[in-house]
Structure 1
Amino acid sequence: MPRLILLHGWGVDARIWQPLAPYWRADCQVASPDWPGYGACPALSAPQHLGALADAMAESLPADAVWVGWSLGGLLAAALSQRLSAPRGLIMLGMGPRFCHPAAVSDATLNDFRRAFARAPETRWRHFLRWQAGGEPSPRVIYRQLTTLLGDTPPAALPTLSAGLAQLGELDAQHLASAPPCPVAWLYGAHDPLLAPDSLPPGAEALSDSGHCPMLSQPAALACALQRLADGVSHTSTMERQ
């Protein structure tokens, strides 16, 4: 099967994928790079600049792999698929063509959060972790898992996090539905509080008993679904090239 490149979302880093490790098939090659500014990856001087982001991530996003973009990572992957060589396939996890939607997180709600984050970054970061854990069967358990994985402080500096919040409101992945650069699959938690299922293209697949963090609440089911979808989009890509 093709390599999987797992791309994390806002306010977390690549450690979010660790619970999936026991569930990958023996033939599955997986990489989970950090976005610039997260973990040990150096921050960009202009973190909102997509051209600089593409340059920084070029080696980590090979065209012969399937990219899995979770949350903001999905929007960034969609944007970079137009700036780098398109991958064999793209799996959008927990993200629609846009982040903001009246039936989930409205533009006003995101703008309020951005203002509150500017005043109290660490407090609002913890609030966001609780927010995205809210759709899971055991939100308190998922929140504890998040804080155990990530620690007590945000995994990126304020400029990187602020730019990411702006990108959540600004980036648009509608082209994935209208003129996709590669085969695309959509996967989401059935009880995701940050997502409006009606905004997803036809054929989007729901993971039952999970919300925005299925890698924590349903790691075995998520790993199985990602491998199956990766096989599917890779096969479609191969057929299109013949």
Structure 2
Amino acid sequence: MTTTLPWVFLPGWGMTAASLQPLREQLSGEKITLLEWPDDPECWRQAEAGNLDALLMRLAEQYPQPALWLGWSLGGLVAAKMAEHHQLGQLVTGLVSLGAGPWFVAGKDRPCHWGLNPAELKAFVRGFKKQPEQAWQHFLNWQSLGEPEGNRVLARLQAQKPWPTFALNTGLQLLQQLQAAELLKNPSLPWLLVRGEDDPLCEPWSALQEAYASENVSWVTLQACGHAPQFSEPQQLANQLLAWSSRL
């Protein structure tokens, strides 16, 4: 089973395109482009100042045709902003958020109580500013929690060369700030949200499912995996993507 639409994969915070290669290998019949986050300091500076357009434009330049966009973790949040964009939204014909919801952290300003405890992320940000290398290793360990073969997944994560510090800092800011509640409230495109059942960074969907109901939105929980199912359960994940895309 294959789809006629091409795919674009966007990795998570600090991760390279190679972090989604195992999933691409399970979708060998699909046309897939793995995006790299830009290394241009200027677009990250603009994003830090609240102008996300430069970052979105740089990503769109890598595949400027309509496609199904899959974003992992921070990539899911940014892909959702791409879908919302007045000019670039036409490039996103379907959206998959992997290990990501419409926002990352919970908060009083959120439409419903869902997301990571903001105190946890704030503590991580403080640690990253003081000891970035140790904080990076802590983040990799954090991601591997919930995976049945955590050490193997951790080794795959450690093989990734992290972004420059300026990009990592801005990425942390985006994790705290980005949200796509309006898109989830009035989805203009098919949207699949996928999480591992033991994901320590992405809570169960139940609160969001109660708050948002739409024929355009689908929710999936993968069994026996955590935040990095492309490493631990790539076939299970690929099957869900194909089942969803075949209905579009």
TM-score category of the 2 structures, normalised to the smaller one:
0.7 to 0.9
- In structure 2, what is the Cα distance between the partners aligned to 1:208 and 1:158? 34
Offset from partner CA, 1:11-34 (integer Å, 9 cap, x none): 2111101222432142x1001111
Number of residue pairs the alignment of both structures matches: 224
SS in 2 for 1:206: strand
Deviates more, 1:91-100 or 1:101-110: 101-110
Is the contact made by 1:89 and 1:183 (CA closer than 8 Å) also made in structure 2? Answer: yes
Q: Which residue of 2 aligns with 1:7?
A: 10
Q: Which residue of 1 aligns with 2:81?
A: 79
Q: Which residue of 1 aligns with 2:245?
A: 230
Is the contact made by 2:84 and 2:183 (CA closer than 8 Å) also made in structure 1? Answer: no
- The structure-2 alpha-carbon separation of the partners of 1:220 and 1:129, relative to structure 1 and needing over 3 Å to count, comes to same
CA deviation after TM superposition for structure 1 residue 225, in Å: 1.7
Higher relative contact order (CA 8 A, sep 6+): 1
CA deviation after TM superposition for structure 1 residue 133, in Å: 0.6
The AA in structure 2 aligned to 1:130 is: N
Q: Which residue of 2 aligns with 1:134?
A: 145
Is the contact made by 1:6 and 1:32 (CA closer than 8 Å) also made in structure 2? Answer: yes
Is the contact made by 1:6 and 1:69 (CA closer than 8 Å) also made in structure 2? Answer: yes
Give 1:204's match in structure 2, choosing from 208, 213, 219.
Answer: 219
SS in 1 for 2:89: coil
- The structure-2 alpha-carbon separation of the partners of 1:54 and 1:22, relative to structure 1 and needing over 3 Å to count, comes to closer
CA deviation after TM superposition for structure 1 residue 63, in Å: 4.9
CA deviation after TM superposition for structure 1 residue 96, in Å: 1.2
CA deviation after TM superposition for structure 1 residue 181, in Å: 2.9
CA deviation after TM superposition for structure 1 residue 59, in Å: 2.3
- In structure 1, what is the Cα distance between the partners aligned to 2:127 and 2:10? 26
The AA in structure 1 aligned to 2:178 is: L
Q: Which residue of 2 aligns with 1:108?
A: 119
TM-score (norm 1): 0.86
- In structure 1, what is the Cα distance between the partners aligned to 2:82 and 2:155? 32
List alignment gaps of at least 5 residues for structure 2.
107-112
- In structure 2, what is the Cα distance between the partners aligned to 1:168 and 1:74? 10
Q: For 1:82-231, what aligned pairs fall within 5 Å after superposition?
A: 82-83=84-85, 84-86=88-90, 87-101=92-106, 105-147=116-158, 149-150=159-160, 154-197=161-204, 198-201=206-209, 203-231=218-246
Offset from partner CA, 1:57-98 (integer Å, 9 cap, x none): 222354521000110001011112222133110011111111
Deviates more, 1:70-79 or 1:219-228: 219-228
SS in 2 for 1:187: strand
CA deviation after TM superposition for structure 1 residue 103, in Å: 6.8
List alignment gaps of at least 5 residues for structure 1.
236-242
Is the contact made by 1:11 and 1:161 (CA closer than 8 Å) also made in structure 2? Answer: yes
Kindly report the root-mean-square deviation, in angstroms, between the aligned alpha carbons of the 2 structures.
Answer: 1.8
- In structure 1, what is the Cα distance between the partners aligned to 2:11 and 2:207? 21
The AA in structure 1 aligned to 2:243 is: R
CA deviation after TM superposition for structure 1 residue 196, in Å: 1.3
Pair 1:24 & 2:39 matched: no
Offset from partner CA, 1:90-140 (integer Å, 9 cap, x none): 011111111113776211111111111011111101100100110111212
Once superposed, which parts of structure 1, at least 4 consecutive aligned residues long, lie more than 4 Å away?
none
Is the contact made by 1:70 and 1:95 (CA closer than 8 Å) also made in structure 2? Answer: yes
> Percent of pairs identical after alignment?
34
SS in 2 for 1:141: helix
Deviates more, 1:123-132 or 1:174-183: 174-183
Is the contact made by 1:24 and 1:223 (CA closer than 8 Å) also made in structure 2? Answer: yes
Q: For 1:41-56, what aligned pairs fall within 5 Å after superposition?
A: 42-43=40-41, 44=43, 46=45, 47-48=47-48, 49-56=51-58
SS in 1 for 2:147: coil
